[in-house]
Structure 1
Amino acid sequence: MEAGNDLRDVRAEPARAREVLAKAGARTDDLLAALPEPALRTPGQRAAAASATDTARSLRAAFMDAHADAVYDELTDGRTRSVRLDRLASSAATAFPGLVPTAERLATERGRPQAEKEGDEIDQGIFFRAVLNSPSAGRHLLDAMLRPTPRALGLLPGFLATGTADLGSVRLERTDGAARLTMCRTDCLNAEDDRQIDDMETAVDLALLDPSVEVCLLRGGEMIHPRYRGRRVFSAGVNLKSLHGGGISLVDFLLRRELGYIHKILRGVLVEDGATTRWSRTVEKPWIAAVDTFAIGGGAQILLVFDQVLAASDAFFSLPAAKEGIIPGASDFRLIRAVGPRLARQLILGGRRLRATEPEARLVFDEVHEGEELDIAVERSLDRLRSPAVLANRHMLNLAEESVDDFRCYMAEFALQQALRLYSPDVIDKVGGFTAAKRTAVFN
């Protein structure tokens, strides 16, 4: 009866709802604290923990369904402040006890392998699903994530002066009006983790904010991996070693990646009022990707927002979502438009590998070239997209192809479903058995 009353009360007026939510969260925390660490629990203890967390999550979902706008407005001072994902989640943990995990809980979780976590990020998924489902709060959050990061703003004067920036996993160079972003994680074939997401968003911000940049290029650098030594590689997707070790986060990786640098490539960077022309809220640039060797998983996903994609003749495109057990970002949203429903299902559900020389690959790659011809084609493409009419037309094409609200609604459901997948038994089993040697075999 208590659970039923709580479910009713969290939908009631905000003050009573907050009180009930906080008490329910404290009860669940006390129960979990009395149990051994997740990896040491007996089957009965695991069942008790699952029952308690499921009940608490039902209350959190009901609370957010009823009060999402009020919660968001309180956290952003009536939407007068732009608050990014991580700050929004941490502020919610303080202002609304029992709603999302605290920074301390997340730090504890971060130190555990994926298989030994409580799954606290699922509560963040519940929170962000409700926020993004709200037309007012969700739109405001998308805008907040389109603003340049503090790191980028701090580095901008140096980049404007020198035309270069070494961000660690991404190098940025401006030459002849072109911003050239080179992914250079030579230790892991440009597999993405939280660090690379931060570096990529910073590089994208710098490229977009530089008024002398007319067009942008993304390419992978030369690798030192024995199998690919001296060869360029575009991207191996998510870093499964980091995922297994618990280092891939929902907020700082999976959500920030989609709402941050990838969305900025598509929509542009949102600048302060008066920093651009009065006709536009964002600074946009045309984007070209050059794919060497392979674009796997996340590397394939980002190609779907580029204006032109060129590939080496021996390259391939792959979205092994079913194999890895997680959702391939916004690919389920964008790929159908690019290649059609049948091929999209073959790529995502069936794990089909699309080689650059196959006829269907022209739905992903605009041009395919042999050897050094790719370098020549890249320069030709950079020149072509400098045309003054390109920017206006890409803006209108993107507007027609993908509305902001359609993207917002997709990302709302993605926030929860991806969080659930992170802690699903099949994913835990897969990433646990996915050693570096096995991952290398995927590239063959």
Structure 2
Amino acid sequence: MSASAMAGTAALPLGTPPVPGFSGRLEPDRAALAAHITETERLLALLRPRPLRTPAQQEAAERLLGGGRAARSAFLALHAEGVYDELTARRTRHLRLPELIRAAADEFPGLVPTDAQMAAENEYIQAEKDGREIDQAIFCGAILRSATAGRHLIEAMLRPTPRALELLSDYRAEGRVELSSVLVERRGRAGHVTFRNAHCLNAETNELIGDLETAVDLVLMDDATAVGVLRGGEVDHPRYEGRRVFSAGINLKDLRQGDISFVDFLMGRELGYINKMYRGLLSSPEAASWGERVQQKPWVGAVDAFAIGGGMQLLLVLDRVIAEEGAYFSLPAAEEGIVPGLGNLRLSRFTGARTARQVILGGRRIGTADPEFRLLCDEVVAPCDMADAVERAVTELAAPAVAANRHMLGLVEEPLDLYREYLAEFAVVQVARSYSEDVLAKVERRWQRSRGGS
């Protein structure tokens, strides 16, 4: 960035462009939105980057950004389905979420940030960004609120990823693929997916989310595999060195650094590999019934040490959970200040509403000695017996009727439209929380502690 750009100007924009009065017709409203956002961006460019702004400049920036978001929301309230139909050729093209957003930036200028705008934003830590991901969330929420467009997007995200398709022949032949942060290997009739983010207690990062979706795709597409198994690998942390750990949840250091992506992480995990484990991989989109359209397999979770945050969320879509003695589960949403994924939707099915509130709102940790633990876990074993317990579970769940019955259970427990409507709200609420002052302050304090600061 040039010195002149960094210096900026002390002048403040004289006003905020008024939100256009949209007509309800797509073409003139598209032009009106583009003109409004163009002017908004021109005025924003008069200000310094956020880290260098004065309080008055930041106030002006927030007014401009808020006006742009109001215009996008008003436009999408009228045209979400029309926009989606144009981007997908009337739902004949299945675009994954990143592709859909990129297409929207090209075809509807100003509706979502461009790649260049996101690249510039991503040069900064989370607290120093303008929150352009909020604009992406407005778009995602509007698409998901539409039953027609939202269902189509969900189906697009249930298709195999290009990377998994490239690796499939090798996996079928070798029964093993090593990704950067995940190992997937076939053992007998089970596809074992092992988290290997050893440096951060198997916490979730952008890279891990992408690798997990590839691994889940491979397990679901592999004809020789009947059951999937999730387990954490050994970690480097001094307290747990040499031990397996299931997952520490979202990597808050990455969140502080601005490296947790709304599209690839926050939405990608829920619409991607977790939904594929729960609902199956969309392999025959033209088939009449959902059961014929997807490849479904049961999943086993082997929990060593703990399943925190996103790790615990995973357990809520698994068919068998086995934990070692002394393990615990927690969803520290109140402490972190963010929404625990789909935990709010799913946890009460297992524990009842009162315990779910204690866990999500009060930060309650549930350990193997607590009676509620058995509501979330099928079996508790000694660490030395974990492998045998997993093998028994695989044998039981490989029975031919299991996949069909888990599909029918899913229809009752979580209808697709309930899931879609929750995600529509989640998109907007979660991204707002990730830019809120209390969350930014908490992750900064954690960051400073990790560096030995005060």
Per the TM superposition, whether the score is higher than 0.5 is: yes
Partner of 1:332: 344
The alpha carbon displacement at 1:20 in A equals 1.2
Equivalent residue letter for 1:306:
L
Partner of 2:62: 50
Partner of 1:287: 299
Are 2:117 and 1:122 aligned? no
Partner of 2:11: none
Work out the CA distance in 2 between the residues paired with 1:198 and 1:82.
19
Q: Secondary structure at the match of 1:165?
A: strand
The alpha carbon displacement at 1:149 in A equals 0.1
Are 2:278 and 1:266 aligned? yes
The alpha carbon displacement at 1:275 in A equals 9.9
Map 1:295-334 → 2, pairs under 5 A: 295-334=307-346
Partner of 1:398: 410
Aligned partner of 1:413 among 408, 425, 446: 425
Q: Secondary structure at the match of 2:90?
A: coil
Are 2:364 and 1:352 aligned? yes
Work out the CA distance in 2 between the residues paired with 1:17 and 1:92.
15
Partner of 2:236: 224
Q: Secondary structure at the match of 2:240?
A: coil
Are 2:134 and 1:90 aligned? no
Equivalent residue letter for 1:110:
N
Are 2:207 and 1:180 aligned? no
Partner of 1:18: 30
Partner of 2:160: 148
Work out the CA distance in 1 between the residues paired with 2:252 and 2:291.
43
RMSD between aligned alpha carbons?
A: 1.9
Work out the CA distance in 1 between the residues paired with 2:386 and 2:291.
37
Q: Secondary structure at the match of 1:19?
A: helix
CA deviations 1:54-95 (Å, max 9, x no partner) are: 111111001001000000011111100000010111111111
The alpha carbon displacement at 1:7 in A equals 4.0
Q: Secondary structure at the match of 1:81?
A: coil
Work out the CA distance in 2 between the residues paired with 1:400 and 1:271.
22
CA deviations 1:269-305 (Å, max 9, x no partner) are: 0014589999600000010001000101111111100
Q: Secondary structure at the match of 1:288?
A: strand
Work out the CA distance in 2 between the residues paired with 1:128 and 1:335.
24
Partner of 1:362: 374
Aligned partner of 1:78 among 90, 96, 107: 90
CA deviations 1:165-193 (Å, max 9, x no partner) are: 10121101101111011111111111111
Equivalent residue letter for 1:232:
R
Partner of 2:21: 8
Q: Secondary structure at the match of 2:277?
A: helix
Work out the CA distance in 1 between the residues paired with 2:71 and 2:183.
46
Work out the CA distance in 2 between the residues paired with 1:203 and 1:223.
20
Equivalent residue letter for 2:426:
F
TM-score (norm. length: structure 2): 0.93
Q: Are the counterparts in 2 of residues 326 and 421 from structure 1 also a CA contact under 8 Å? A: yes
Q: Secondary structure at the match of 1:187?
A: helix
Q: Are the counterparts in 2 of residues 325 and 427 from structure 1 also a CA contact under 8 Å? A: yes
Aligned partner of 1:27 among 39, 46, 49: 39
Partner of 2:258: 246
Q: Secondary structure at the match of 2:237?
A: coil
Partner of 1:67: 79
Work out the CA distance in 1 between the residues paired with 2:290 and 2:212.
28
Work out the CA distance in 2 between the residues paired with 1:78 and 1:85.
16
The alpha carbon displacement at 1:5 in A equals 7.0
Partner of 2:5: none
Deviates more, 1:428-437 or 1:249-258: 428-437
Partner of 1:108: 120
Q: Are the counterparts in 1 of residues 350 and 375 from structure 2 also a CA contact under 8 Å? A: yes
Work out the CA distance in 2 between the residues paired with 1:41 and 1:76.
40
Q: Secondary structure at the match of 1:359?
A: coil
The alpha carbon displacement at 1:222 in A equals 1.2
Work out the CA distance in 2 between the residues paired with 1:396 and 1:4.
52
Partner of 2:147: 135
TM-score (norm. length: structure 1): 0.95
Q: Secondary structure at the match of 1:224?
A: coil
Equivalent residue letter for 2:318:
F
CA deviations 1:302-359 (Å, max 9, x no partner) are: 1100001110111110111111111111111111111111111111111111112211
Work out the CA distance in 2 between the residues paired with 1:53 and 1:436.
30
Work out the CA distance in 2 between the residues paired with 1:277 and 1:160.
28
Q: Secondary structure at the match of 2:401?
A: helix
Q: Secondary structure at the match of 1:372?
A: helix
Q: Are the counterparts in 2 of residues 132 and 412 from structure 1 also a CA contact under 8 Å? A: yes
Equivalent residue letter for 1:384:
E
Work out the CA distance in 2 between the residues paired with 1:273 and 1:141.
13
Q: Secondary structure at the match of 2:91?
A: coil
Q: Are the counterparts in 2 of residues 276 and 283 from structure 1 also a CA contact under 8 Å? A: no
Equivalent residue letter for 1:88:
L
Deviates more, 1:11-20 or 1:179-188: 11-20
Taking only the aligned residue pairs, the percentage that are identical comes to 51
Q: Are the counterparts in 2 of residues 357 and 368 from structure 1 also a CA contact under 8 Å? A: no
Q: Are the counterparts in 2 of residues 241 and 436 from structure 1 also a CA contact under 8 Å? A: no
Q: Are the counterparts in 2 of residues 292 and 311 from structure 1 also a CA contact under 8 Å? A: yes
The alpha carbon displacement at 1:8 in A equals 2.4
Are 2:208 and 1:159 aligned? no
The alpha carbon displacement at 1:12 in A equals 2.4
Unaligned runs of 5+ in 2: 1-14
CA deviations 1:199-240 (Å, max 9, x no partner) are: 000000000000110111100111122111111100011111
Q: Are the counterparts in 2 of residues 6 and 20 from structure 1 also a CA contact under 8 Å? A: no
Q: Are the counterparts in 2 of residues 336 and 344 from structure 1 also a CA contact under 8 Å? A: yes
Work out the CA distance in 2 between the residues paired with 1:221 and 1:101.
37
Q: Are the counterparts in 2 of residues 270 and 283 from structure 1 also a CA contact under 8 Å? A: yes
Aligned partner of 1:211 among 197, 206, 223: 223
Q: Are the counterparts in 1 of residues 350 and 376 from structure 2 also a CA contact under 8 Å? A: yes
Structure 1 ranges of 4+ moved more than 2 A: 2-8, 272-279, 435-440
Work out the CA distance in 1 between the residues paired with 2:69 and 2:165.
38
